[in-house]
């Protein structure tokens, strides 16, 4: 049976690299996102690179009425279902300070939108008794930092959600992988200056496939972020609140 990968946020740089990697293995891909022209180009690319089928579908994490369409397209493909979540948005903290209403969209993009879709998908995954969910969070979700704590809070919520989903679906043989990338050379961080321990989308995707093969639960990529975040998590709050890292 061929695999079907639902790819949420399929226009993102990491999603594009992930789509190619599963296309080369002959999977069917459901490319879900907001920009149909871009998704159609990604679908053509996936087909040329070996995807059994590539279907662009309109999906907006902030509009739950779009979720059914994604699910239908995936079920119609007839393959074994898998889902990879690459949605998320990171408005500058200063913009959120100026307009607190931006919080709703940030939380919907990174947490509640994909969580609701995964919840709709969960019974189907449980029924097939196999398959995988890849949820991309961020090292920013490990601690509330001065520069991006709303984004971090959304990613933290999503990580906790994935941990629960793993607990549930793991019992039926479905693997849930939480990915926590540090800065990746993508459009999202363009303009933020030089970032520590930067990696590339291709390297993140290679790490994701290794982690899936080894059935890892949580993946830090680059791996250096695991010790770094472990230390950061250990800093006592009275000290951390005075730091700006």
Q: Does 194 bind other proteins (CB under 8 A)?
A: yes
Residues 58-77: x where in contact with other proteins by CB under 8 A, - otherwise, as a string: --------------------
- The β-bridge relationship of strands 132-136 and 175-181 is parallel
Give 45 or 60: the residue with its C-beta nearer to other proteins: 45
Q: Does 191 bind other proteins (CB under 8 A)?
A: yes
Identify the CA nearest to 162 among candidates 79, 108, 84: 84
Measured in degrees and rounded to the nearest 5, phi and psi for residue 122 equal -50, -45
Tell me, rounded to whole angstroms, the distance of Cα 210 from its chain centroid: 16
Window contacting other proteins (CB under 8 A); options: 84-92, 131-139, 140-148, 187-195: 187-195
Q: Does 49 bind other proteins (CB under 8 A)?
A: yes
Q: From residue 138, how far is each of 98, 186, 195 by CA, in Å?
A: 24, 14, 14
Q: Does 178 bind other proteins (CB under 8 A)?
A: no
Out of 4, 13, 53, 112, which residue is the one contacting other proteins (CB under 8 A)?
13
Buried b (16+ CB within 10 A) or exposed e, 214-233: eebebbbbbeebeebbeebe
What residues make contact with other proteins under the rule CB under 8 A?
13, 16, 37-38, 41-42, 44-45, 47-49, 185-187, 190-194
């Amino acid at each position: 049976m061929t695999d079907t990968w639902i790819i949420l946020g399929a226009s993102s740089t990491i999603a594009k690299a992930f789509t190619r990697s599963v296309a080369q293995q002959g999977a069917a891909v459901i490319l879900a996102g907001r920009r149909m022209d871009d998704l159609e180009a990604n679908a053509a690319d996936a087909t040329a690179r070996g995807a059994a089928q590539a279907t662009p579908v309109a999906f907006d994490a902030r509009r739950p009425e779009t979720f059914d369409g994604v699910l239908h397209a995936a079920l119609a493909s007839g393959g074994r279902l898998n889902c990879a979540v690459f949605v998320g948005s990171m408005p500058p903290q200063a913009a959120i300070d100026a307009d607190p209403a931006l919080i709703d969209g940030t939380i919907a993009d990174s947490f509640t939108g994909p969580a609701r879709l995964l919840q709709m998908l969960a019974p189907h995954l449980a029924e097939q008794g196999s398959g995988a969910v890849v949820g991309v969070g961020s090292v920013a979700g490990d601690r509330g930092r001065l520069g991006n704590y709303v984004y971090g809070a959304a990613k933290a919520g999503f990580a906790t959600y994935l941990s629960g989903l793993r607990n549930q679906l793991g019992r039926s043989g479905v693997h849930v992988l939480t990915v926590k990338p540090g800065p990746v050379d993508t459009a999202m961080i363009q303009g933020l200056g030089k970032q520590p321990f930067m990696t590339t989308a291709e390297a993140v995707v290679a790490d994701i496939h290794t982690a899936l093969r080894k059935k890892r639960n949580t993946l830090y990529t680059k791996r250096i972020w695991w010790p770094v975040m472990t230390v950061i998590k250990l800093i006592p709050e009275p000290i951390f609140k005075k730091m700006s890292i």
